[in-house]
Structure 1
Amino acid sequence: MTNPTHSKAQTDNTIHSDRPVLVFGASGYVGTHLVPRLLEQAYKVRAAARNRAVLETRQWSNVDLVEADALKPETLDAALAGVDVAFYLVHSMAAGKQFGRLDEEAAANFARAAERAGVRRIVYLGGLIPKDADSEHLVSRQVTGERLRAGSVPVTEIRAGIIVGPGSAAFEVMRDLVCNLPIMITPRWVRSQSTPIALDNLLDYLIGVAELPEAAGGIYDAAGPEMLSYQQMMRQFGEIVGKRCLVIPVPVLSPGLSSYWLSLVTTVPYNIARALIGGLKHDIPADDRPLRALIPQQLLNFRESINAALETERRNAVAARWTEGALMFRDYRSDYAFYAKKAGGSAVTSASAQAVWDQVAAIGGKNRYYYLNPLWTLRELLDWLAGGPGLNHSRRHPTAVRLGDIIDSWRVVGLEPERRLTLQFGMKAPGAGVLEFEIDPEEDGRTRVTATAYWHPAGVWGLLYWYSLEPFHLIIFKGLTRAIAERAEQAEA
């Protein structure tokens, strides 16, 4: 921890209840949980993300939703207008090799915009930095904090390692490995040690430092009460969820090979896995004594943190449309993967959104699926042979849909006419799936229709199931959306 420096600070840096606080990066896993925690404490909240539609799925009440991107400076002034405290939670790990440069640029843009808006404080969630760090991800998190501090707005930085909560990449890798593989031949980084912190404890720290004037300008380590290896964490997780796993570390897997291995046996995207491994290969101790002295609280140990994470999932099970990790789209099974495997296709048409919607809403039943119907029929036959509802070709109405409708083996679980239809997969399979259709206007007046399949695998069989069907998905969904576009144009001709 570094001592707070008050040379840039204004005399009052506490949160003012009459001005909103901004959660920038509210669609991420920390932001998704920070917003309701702030609401519980009666703060006025503005939530910002690159895609406003993702924020709408959170179904928050009394939250000002804003679309803003730190890499697009022109979007920041509206997001920061009138803001008292801004929580900066964004990173560019999913962007690939250039994420370090993008993180630095985004932070500099945000610092300048916060200064223009008269923001009183920025609270930044960074990462713990080991002394011998050579990870581009960890170095980027450090540089991001420096770029934010280069502005005139006081910055409080909280540095955390592994966060134990639903959606955290490190936690979800752990869940997938334990639930998917009874025997793991793992890279040696599973022996590296760190101090995992419960998401609930981290949220209390983030809000706590924002409320304290003496925290302005400080950099604080946040940690849980235990120093554990990733291997020890996986074993404890397995004991809690009733999965026995044998871990055999080997020294021969490079970070690059480890990343490919993780992307194959887990659902965490490759770029995030690569950045994560860059940090996991180090022992990451933390000195959290200054932060504990500033904000005393009961810290959860690792077992308690896992139980709290699983309970958080159960409390937030229902969503209006497919949302990453939503338990209702994982058959209410916490051992199914949080992140989904995805495949899809899209097409653009001159037809109106209403005409496209009419075709989407009529899918299934006697109308069938518009493209490569024999493949759909083959899958339905296999399901029927396994005792499933695959050959039930029926729907309540030939063209109209409503929530709860059964369309063949699908259930309608999300419905926004002329915008979105969400169908939950009902055939027998090792996992849980969703097929979602989205209709979006193009700038040139045309309409885009997109079909995306999301699959939350259950164990190694769920992964193998997905990989066996993935080549067909790439063909089917491109053809399906083209067929919908063509039928919509013909209907309006």
Structure 2
Amino acid sequence: MISRRVLVTGATGYIGGRLVPKLLEAGFDVRVLVRTPLKLRDVPWADKVEIFEGDLGDPASLTKAFADVEVLYYLVHSMGTPGDFEKTEHRAAENVARAAAAAHIFRMVYLGGLHPDVEELSPHLHSRVEVGQILMKSGVPTAALQAGVVIGSGSTSFEMIRHLTDVLPYMPAPKWVRNRIQPIAVRDVLYYLVACADLPADVNRTFDIGGPDVFRYGQMMNGYALEAGLKQRAIASLPVLTPWLASQWVNLVTPIPRNLAIPIIASLQYDCVVHERDIDDYIPTPPGGLTGYRRAVRLALGRMRDGDVETSWRNSSIEGAASNPLPSDPEWAGHIVYTDLREKNTFASPENLWRVIESIGGENGWYSFPLAWAIRGLMDKLVGGVGLRRGRRNPDHLNNGEVLDFWRVEQIDHGKFLRLRAEMRVPGKAWLEMTVTPAKGGGSLYRQRAVFFPRGLGGRLYWAAILPFHGIIFEGMATRIAATAEAEAHTAAARALTKAPAGRVGR
């Protein structure tokens, strides 16, 4: 071995973006080849790797990037791109095969799709198989891993399970919901990919990889429902739903783009299970064993905080998960999050503004539409919630963990930031954040954000139902908080001039 340098293609994708830090941890010098380096601007590992700009469809752009590379990871696909993606993938694979052989690369590692041994595969699976064959015929030893549904937030297959199950309490589904699937956790996929860099030089073949569980697709959806705190879904298999019709249905009820849904659904027409476990002869199973499906879902949902979560909710900082999704992830990845953001500039000082924020609730009220807040508190009480009567311990000061009406102080950075977690009965999880930022030239900026993670269809309908009131309640709240801070600033200034004793403005 002349070096420990690896090249990752597809570093802006789901697997590639998560593989890079694992390779860095393993001690490799990492180089990435991307068409648009700007997409890596905000990823946490960008300053630790060499970034080369290039396109697998352009052979001339590969030569410099491939120089002095020991191991090449081929993690790109053209699924979802306009035109004939099979021809695009075929051409890219041939370009890489020739360039890798010319650069005397020691090994290539490719991630393809788990598939049955049949002649008529879907276009997506057929293309994945063909790419692996091209790489294995290149003269460069290639390990072509074949995985089925990868479980992790941001994985297209997992996101389809997540969104369908979240939205639909009853699911008319194609007959492929009865097909057998062997999912694998993203952490186990990454483990095998890293380990493949040290395979013996004579290994040039495919390897099936999968988790320990085999389910029908419908069972996977209900397993997700249980981990997400939802009721199990009634699923009816309808043979009239063709792959094309099913993809239109998925596109209608989920944010998954149609051009991705069509090839994914076409690939689900077959059982997708491991046929051989030869990988075990070369690479030991991950420490602690392969990750079971239910545990993989918990990790994807950010429910487990063991310091090794590969993926989590897009707004995982709210949940306190161990790691955040990458900025390069698609917008539709992750748990659905609804937000309401309000900002107000005020000439009041940050100190004046913070005093108003920290005294919110209890006898001081919520600064907008008191009747609406009272009705919401009563409704919560009627359904067994805590209501508004808990009040607050101190009229002027808050601490972490304290009760505040039907909220609880989840985080407070005195003078700067307050986050409240809702403890009223809602079909999901809700937070309210208030931030103070000093403004240039004096004054301050008030930023108010409501965040809601809906649970199931009920959560989405709840948000839609209250949406018309946000313009009244949240906008009024932001306006009154800023105005009250300004009034207090005026009063304080006037009293300072008359040397009157300081006090609070009545509300």
TM-score range, shorter chain: 0.5 to 0.7
Paired residue for 1:66? 52
How far the C-alpha of 1:282 sits from its partner, in A, is 0.8
Corresponding letter in the other structure for 2:256: V
Corresponding letter in the other structure for 1:36: P
- 2-structure distance, mates of 1:75, 1:462: 51
Paired residue for 1:348? none
Secondary structure of 1:110's aligned partner = helix
Paired residue for 2:393? none
Distance of aligned partners of 1:317 and 1:120 in 2 relative to their CA distance in 1, 3 Å threshold? closer
- 1-structure distance, mates of 2:19, 2:228: 26
Which residue of 77, 101, 115 maps to 2:101? 115
Paired residue for 2:471? none
- 2-structure distance, mates of 1:311, 1:177: 19
Query: Does the 8 Å contact 1:121/1:216 carry over to 2?
Result: no
Matched ranges for 1:24-63 at <5 A: 24-60=9-45, 62-63=48-49
Matched ranges for 1:338-353 at <5 A: 340=331
Which residue of 274, 277, 286 maps to 2:274? 286
How far the C-alpha of 1:158 sits from its partner, in A, is 0.7
CA offsets 1:128-161 (integer angstroms, 9 cap, x no match):
2212343000000011112223323222211111
- 2-structure distance, mates of 1:341, 1:399: 39
Matched ranges for 1:146-295 at <5 A: 146-213=133-200, 216-244=203-231, 245-295=233-283
Secondary structure of 2:160's aligned partner = helix
Query: Does the 8 Å contact 2:171/2:235 carry over to 1?
Result: yes
Distance of aligned partners of 1:86 and 1:428 in 2 relative to their CA distance in 1, 3 Å threshold? closer
Paired residue for 2:79? 93
Corresponding letter in the other structure for 2:20: V
Secondary structure of 2:161's aligned partner = helix
- 2-structure distance, mates of 1:71, 1:400: 54
Paired residue for 1:397? 439
Distance of aligned partners of 1:134 and 1:289 in 2 relative to their CA distance in 1, 3 Å threshold? closer
Query: Does the 8 Å contact 1:187/1:250 carry over to 2?
Result: yes
Q: Runs of 5+ in structure 2 lacking a partner?
A: 334-342, 347-367, 374-429, 469-507
How far the C-alpha of 1:50 sits from its partner, in A, is 2.2
Query: Does the 8 Å contact 1:265/1:463 carry over to 2?
Result: no
**TM-score where L is the length of structure 1:** 0.65
- 2-structure distance, mates of 1:202, 1:389: 34
- 1-structure distance, mates of 2:280, 2:83: 36
Bigger drift between 188-197 and 53-62 goes to 53-62
Secondary structure of 1:213's aligned partner = coil
Corresponding letter in the other structure for 1:26: A
How far the C-alpha of 1:89 sits from its partner, in A, is 0.4
Structure possessing the higher radius of gyration over alpha carbons: 2
**TM-score where L is the length of structure 2:** 0.63
Corresponding letter in the other structure for 1:64: E
Over aligned residue pairs, what C-alpha RMSD do you find? 3.9
Distance of aligned partners of 1:85 and 1:139 in 2 relative to their CA distance in 1, 3 Å threshold? same
- 1-structure distance, mates of 2:462, 2:317: 12
Which residue of 289, 295, 310 maps to 2:301? 310
How far the C-alpha of 1:73 sits from its partner, in A, is 2.4
Identity %: 33
Query: Does the 8 Å contact 1:430/1:462 carry over to 2?
Result: no
Paired residue for 2:504? none
Is 2:122 aligned against 1:135?
A: yes
Query: Does the 8 Å contact 1:317/1:327 carry over to 2?
Result: no
